[in-house]
């Protein structure tokens, strides 16, 4: 049978006009814009029926239906085709294919702005300072800020917002104060990658500590370059070489040792090396070639927000591209409003704010969340409609769920041949175990699948771990550690899967099965509730009784339990007795007190957590 040739239809290609007033094309999209042939490539952006595909690629409908029938797929003219079938048909009839995601004003936080080179100008770098507690992060922030205040007429005026600008050799740099790594990651989890450079503060007399490692993991996961500030060099006997060697163990290698990480020895207390550090920031910013278009309407991120008694909803915005003007209509997250007043960190009123500038604004209808993207629009009606649509989308998204990555998802992607990178967080009861698990998990990488362990550390699973997993599309493996009820709830809200194990080979088998695409339904553990032990009573032959308060779910008499101390599992067994006052109880629910004993175990302490659990078949309702 002779194969017919169905040539590509000619299509007019309109060059996008360079709008100075908007981040989007002003023309309405025609129906054909969502599926058309461009230079032999079929470009589409939404599901298509057989009839729609036939028209778009200029192939008769019967020819499409016949081809699919011969492939064992019976379809009708109005049946919607999946991506695999569209791709197969395109190749069969002489086209390459490409699926594009349509970004419009409603989902502007997914917009990748393309600017004309002639409209671009240099913008200030945005820098976040991170590090372990007591290593001098706050002192360094104050040292940088004070040098800014001394050189200005606004000297002595207190900072109003958690962001400020410093001029170095005639060029501005924006510094963001964050309360911790959780805030840094929370913003990235919402899609707001605002930081260009991270300054990692490490004390020369203390070296690399747990929060130092955490900061490194978060910066790496965000793909942000690090500059290390080795602080407290004014103290006698300190050895910066030791700090550099410890950092090497975490793949942060100094330029002195052949790496690419800038490191500066400073004393935030005396001011030693501060100017050198700032010049390193400026050099790194020049290497990054940070540019923006000030001619656009502003687009950026919410750094922080509050409900002020005197001024109403108030937000700190970072302009990332374009120019924000007082009087502009702004959509931030799911709220909108008109900028009634805009001030800098010294409460000076501004009329305009260009790229890289942090400002405090009032005029929004409600308080947005830190990390929300914002965009300015020319008309109030447009801003209001977009905000309402975004609120509706968020509601629908929360109902449908927006999972980061689960083992079942991974299994499906492997079977479909789509997965390439797997991100994992490992929390264990000891550093040695965490490191061993990291090594063994990363060894599971294949030619087509790369396993990345973003974090491997000892300790309980925390809010911060859930945030990092959510932001990185990762799932969490816990070995002999447990999340508390609050962290578990946060993981459920963020749709982050936590896989808990107490035998190493079972954990590794779990991961290996997923990589091979062989995950099956199995009997899994379901936590019924947790109780905190608040008082200890020792009674003769009875043993140790824990006066407890059920903090979540419920505990069942004779049920399986584990005893948790500081997030680490101390004992796994079953309840010996469960009482309400003097009476035996079948179960005790959240919000009630009880007395309990653990069968065959008496070493319980105040502050311990008793977690009840049961084994159920995966996917079944217990």
Distance CA 441, CA 358 (A): 42
Residue 29 has pLDDT above 60, yes or no: no
pLDDT bucket at 417, cuts 50 / 70 / 90: low
Q: Does 109 or 401 have the greater pLDDT score?
A: 109
Q: Which of 146-155, 415-424, 475-484 has the lowest mean pLDDT?
A: 146-155
Q: Which pLDDT score is estimated for 401?
A: 45
Query: How far lies 335's CA from each of 367, 369, 384, in Å?
Result: 7, 10, 8
Q: Does 200 or 25 have the greater pLDDT score?
A: 200
CATH placement of domain 121-291: 3.40.50.300
pLDDT bucket at 161, cuts 50 / 70 / 90: low
Question: E strands within 333-394?
Answer: 335-343, 352-353, 358-364, 373-377
Query: What is the β-pairing status of strands 291-292 and 121-122?
Result: antiparallel
How many residues in the chain?
622
The domain limits of the chain are 1-104, 121-291, 299-400, 407-520, 525-617
Q: Does 188 or 615 have the greater pLDDT score?
A: 615
Fold of 407-520: Rossmann fold (3.40.50)
Q: Which pLDDT score is estimated for 240?
A: 93
| Domain spanning 299-400: CATH 1.10.20.10 | no
Arithmetic mean of pLDDT over the chain? 81
pLDDT over 70, % of the chain: 82
Residue partners of 347: CB distance under 8 A and separation at least 6: 157, 160
Residue 209 has pLDDT above 80, yes or no: yes
Distance CA 22, CA 26 (A): 8
Question: Which residue, among 542, 553, 538, 535, has the nearest Cα to 611 in the 3D structure?
Answer: 553
Q: Which pLDDT score is estimated for 294?
A: 92
Q: Phi and psi dihedrals of 433, rounded to 5? A: -65, -45
Q: What is the pTM of this model?
A: 0.62
How confident is the model over 429-480, as pLDDT tens digits? 887 788 888 888 888 887 777 888 888 888 888 888 888 888 778 889 998 8
Do the two domains 407-520 and 525-617 of this chain adopt the same fold? no
Q: Which pLDDT score is estimated for 375?
A: 93
Name the CATH code of domain 525-617 (choices 3.40.50.300, 3.40.50.720, 2.40.30.10, 2.40.70.10). 2.40.30.10
Strand partners, 300: 319, 374
Q: Which of 344-358, 480-494, 520-534, 568-582 has the lowest mean pLDDT?
A: 520-534
Half-sphere exposure of 84 (CA within 13 A, CB side): 5
pLDDT bucket at 4, cuts 50 / 70 / 90: low
3-state secondary structure of 269: coil
Contact 390, 422 (CB under 8 A): no
Residue 485 has pLDDT above 60, yes or no: yes
- What b-and-e string marks burial along 512-540, b requiring 16 or more CB atoms within 10 Å of the CB? ebbbeeebeeeeeeebbbbbbbeeeeeee
Give the largest CA-CA distance in the chain.
94
Q: Which pLDDT score is estimated for 327?
A: 93
How confident is the model over 260-274, as pLDDT tens digits? 999 999 999 899 999
Q: Which ranges of 401-502 does DSSP label H, i.e. alpha helix?
A: 407-415, 431-442, 463-472, 485-494
Residue 421 has pLDDT above 80, yes or no: no
Question: Which residue, among 199, 288, 289, has the nearest Cα to 252 in the 3D structure?
Answer: 199
Q: Does 156 or 609 have the greater pLDDT score?
A: 609
Distance CA 428, CA 504 (A): 10
Q: Which pLDDT score is estimated for 361?
A: 95
Query: How far lies 179's CA from each of 162, 176, 308, in Å?
Result: 9, 10, 20
DSSP 42-87: EEE-S-EEHHHHHHHHT--HHHHHHHHHHTT----TTPEEPHHHHH
The 8-class DSSP code of residue 323 comes to B
How confident is the model over 109-137, as pLDDT tens digits? 777 777 788 889 999 999 988 888 788 88
How confident is the model over 379-396, as pLDDT tens digits? 899 899 999 888 887 766
Residue 408 has pLDDT above 70, yes or no: no
Q: Does 542 or 614 have the greater pLDDT score?
A: 614
Tally: H helices and E strands in the chain: 14, 33
Distance CA 77, CA 14 (A): 31
- What average pLDDT does this structure show over 212-217? 85
Q: Which pLDDT score is estimated for 617?
A: 61
Q: Which pLDDT score is estimated for 25?
A: 46
Q: Does 11 or 501 have the greater pLDDT score?
A: 501
Q: Which pLDDT score is estimated for 619?
A: 47
- What b-and-e string marks burial along 420-440, b requiring 16 or more CB atoms within 10 Å of the CB? eebbbbbbbbeeebbbbbbeb
């Amino acid at each position: 049978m002779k194969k017919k040739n169905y040539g590509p239809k000619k299509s007019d290609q309109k060059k996008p006009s360079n709008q100075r007033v908007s981040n989007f094309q002003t023309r309405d999209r025609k129906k054909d814009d969502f599926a058309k042939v461009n230079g032999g490539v079929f470009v589409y952006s939404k599901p298509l029926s057989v009839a729609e595909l036939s028209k778009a690629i200029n192939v008769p409908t019967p020819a499409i239906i016949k081809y699919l029938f011969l492939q064992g797929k019976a379809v009708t003219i109005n049946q919607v085709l999946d991506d695999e079938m569209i791709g197969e048909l395109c190749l069969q009839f002489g086209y390459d294919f490409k699926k594009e995601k349509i970004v419009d004003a409603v989902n502007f936080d997914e917009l990748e702005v393309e600017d004309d080179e002639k409209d671009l100008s240099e913008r200030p770098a945005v820098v976040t300072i991170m590090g372990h507690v007591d290593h001098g992060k706050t002192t360094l922030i104050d040292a940088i800020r004070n040098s800014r205040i001394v050189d200005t007429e606004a000297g002595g005026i207190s900072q109003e917002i958690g962001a400020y600008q410093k001029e170095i050799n005639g060029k501005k740099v924006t510094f963001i104060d964050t309360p911790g790594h959780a805030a840094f990651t929370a913003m990235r989890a919402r899609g707001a990658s605002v930081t260009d450079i991270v300054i990692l503060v490490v004390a020369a007399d203390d070296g690399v500590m747990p929060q130092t490692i955490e900061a490194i993991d978060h910066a790496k996961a965000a793909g942000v370059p690090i500059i290390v500030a080795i602080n407290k060099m004014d103290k006698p006997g300190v050895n910066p070489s030791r700090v550099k060697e410890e950092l090497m163990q975490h793949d942060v290698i100094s330029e002195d040792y052949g790496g690419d990480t800038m490191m500066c020895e400073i004393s935030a207390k005396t001011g030693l090396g501060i100017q050198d550090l700032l010049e390193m920031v400026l050099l790194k910013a020049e290497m990054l070639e940070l540019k923006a278009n000030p001619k656009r309407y502003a687009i950026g991120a919410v750094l922080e927000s509050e409900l002020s008694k005197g001024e109403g909803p108030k937000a700190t915005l970072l302009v990332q591209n374009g120019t924000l003007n007082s009087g502009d209509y702004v959509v931030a997250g799911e709220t909108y409003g008109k900028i009634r007043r805009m001030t800098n960190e010294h409460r000076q009123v501004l009329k305009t704010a260009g790229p890289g500038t942090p400002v405090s604004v009032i005029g929004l209808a409600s308080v947005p969340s830190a990390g929300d993207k914002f965009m300015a629009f020319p008309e109030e009606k447009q801003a209001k409609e977009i905000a309402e649509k975004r609120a509706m989308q968020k509601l629908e998204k929360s109902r449908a769920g927006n999972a980061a990555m689960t083992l079942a998802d991974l299994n499906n992607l492997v079977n479909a041949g789509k997965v390439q990178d797997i991100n994992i967080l490992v929390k264990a009861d000891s550093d040695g175990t965490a490191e061993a698990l990291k090594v063994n998990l990363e060894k599971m990488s294949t030619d087509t699948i790369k396993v990345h362990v973003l974090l491997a550390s000892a300790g309980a699973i925390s809010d911060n771990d859930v945030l990092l997993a959510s932001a990185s599309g990762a799932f969490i493996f816990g070995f002999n550690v447990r999340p508390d009820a609050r962290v578990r709830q946060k993981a459920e809200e963020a749709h982050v899967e936590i896989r808990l194990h107490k035998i190493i080979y079972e954990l590794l088998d779990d991961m290996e099965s997923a990589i091979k695409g062989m995950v099956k339904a199995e009997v899994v553990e379901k936590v019924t509730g947790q109780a905190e032990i608040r008082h200890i009573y020792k009674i003769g032959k009875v043993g140790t009784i824990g006066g407890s308060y059920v903090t979540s779910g419920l505990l069942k008499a004779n049920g399986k339990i584990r005893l948790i101390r500081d997030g680490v599992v101390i004992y796994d067994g079953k309840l010996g007795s469960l009482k309400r006052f003097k009476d035996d109880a079948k179960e005790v629910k959240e919000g009630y007190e009880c007395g309990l004993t653990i069968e065959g175990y008496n070493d319980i302490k105040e502050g311990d957590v008793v977690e009840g659990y049961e084994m159920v078949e995966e996917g079944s309702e217990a």
